[in-house]
Amino acid sequence: MSNRPKDFSVTAAVAASDDFAILDGATNGTRKLAAARLTRTLTGTAGQIEVANGDGVAGNPTLSLPTAITGVNSLTSAAGSNLSLRTGTSGLGMDLTSATGAAAFGGPVSVARLKVDSVESANASLVLACWGDSLTSGTGGTPFTAPLQDLLLLPVSNGGVAGETSTQIRTRMVAATDKRGNFTVIWAGRNNYADPTTVKADIAAMVAALTTTRYIVLGVTNASGEPSGNAGYVTIVALNADLAGIYGQKFIDIRSHLVSLWDPNVAQDVTDAGNDVPPSSLRSDSVHLNTAGYIAVAKRIYVAVNASEFPAIIGSDFTIKKSAPTITLANTGAGLGSFALATTAAAGQFRITEVGVADRLVIGKTTGNIGIGTSVPLNRLVVSDTNYRGIEFAVGATETIFGFDRTGSVYLPITLDGLTVTLGGASHPTTVAGNLTVAGTVIHTLSATPASAGAAGVTGTLSWDASYIYICTATNTWKRVAIATW
């Protein structure tokens, strides 16, 4: 029995609840194993990870991510790499966070509402639609729509077709009914600027087809062969002037903007600037721009879109750090605009408002002086001007209540119209150091009777009552003249 082999086989099925034993060669007995067999199954979490064949019965378990991941607060990429969310290899997507913490967007972003930091877009769907010819499609370089998309962090569609006239662009744009509500950039007319009437009519038709007031019209650029004084140049400049008059703040004179970017270190740029044409450093040929030129266009559009059309909602203090900063508030709509700093009288404040015709200007400083035309006011309010302009207080457009002016060394009279004016008072008499001429025929003074010939008085003071006219001929010395009717 001691040579009994230890190998064995079990041919009968064993239930999970069955006990079984093996023969122990050393003791010629049996040794009982664990009483019950345990089973385990892999499971996933809804919205986070999916598991197929978790029990392994039909094959190896398979783990995968669901189409929509929910309930996850953050996703972190491996060190030194970007976290990318993308549909396919070239579909919608973006690189969210780089290893240095900078945002690097790698593709168009599809959002129902975009929120960048604390600023949320006013539109539920923000997509820019750009319509034009080869200058929009990007002949000669990367089209301006690509860098514009990177700047705005919004999807930008490119509706540029090379060689098209403003009429052809209008036809395509009006037919694209799905884009009529998008913020729209119109750059048309370069290929038929010689017919400015048609160009203006086509642009007007495109604007009229929009269901939004958010749009920008770009002016026509001139070619290197259309310098200042050239017939084409004259037509283009006049057309742009007309468009500026029609569309106001929604028009960008992109021609003049590009001309202003000439490089003084490039000889041809200097020549181009003298001819008032876009510089060669920004062009790929006589008409089309290069990538640098298209980037310049994108930056100019970005300023208009970001600053004028999408005012930011800032929920905290902010600081502008720039040499000689300028803040411009432009109300391009029909409504009333307002600007306010602080809201209580206790804080130093500067406020201009006109909501329901309320305060138009409030300067609430409790200490310090205010200067207009001077940086060193020595009194509470100082108005200083070297061009002899003065101050006027008026009712309506023409009626002056109080004002004074100066021309050269001649001081014009103060105009008092319909006012009761108190000068000096009893303790601070007013002195006129010069001749005083009253142009009217009636002089009104208040009635006052000196208590006696020795009553307190200042030399030269006149007074009167129903019986006498009194004059103070010396300090505290009065004389009188009787008056009677006739």
Give residue-wise pLDDT tens across range 255-277.
Answer: 999 999 999 999 999 999 999 99
pLDDT value for 112:
41
pLDDT tops 70 at residue 59: yes
CB 127 within 8 A of CB 181: no
Taking 3-state DSSP, the helix, strand and coil percentages for the chain, each rounded to the nearest 5, stand at 20, 20, 60
pLDDT tops 80 at residue 397: no
pLDDT tops 50 at residue 97: no
d(CA 319, CA 337): 22
CB atoms within 10 A of CB 390: 13
Q: What angle do CA 344, 348, 350 make, to 5 degrees?
A: 85
- Characterize the bridge pairing of strands 215-218 and 183-187: parallel
Structure tokens at 69: 């991941």
d(CA 307, CA 119): 13
pLDDT value for 453:
93
Query: Which domains does the chain show, CATH number per domain?
Result: 119-309 (3.40.50.1110), 368-419 (no CATH), 447-486 (no CATH)
Tell me the pLDDT band of 109, cut-offs 50, 70 and 90.
very low
pLDDT value for 3:
56
Tell me the pLDDT band of 382, cut-offs 50, 70 and 90.
confident
User: Helix 291-303 and helix 145-152: axis angle, to 10°?
Assistant: 40
The closest alpha carbon to 185, from 140, 129, 228, belongs to: 129
Q: For the chain, give the longest Cα–Cα distance.
A: 170
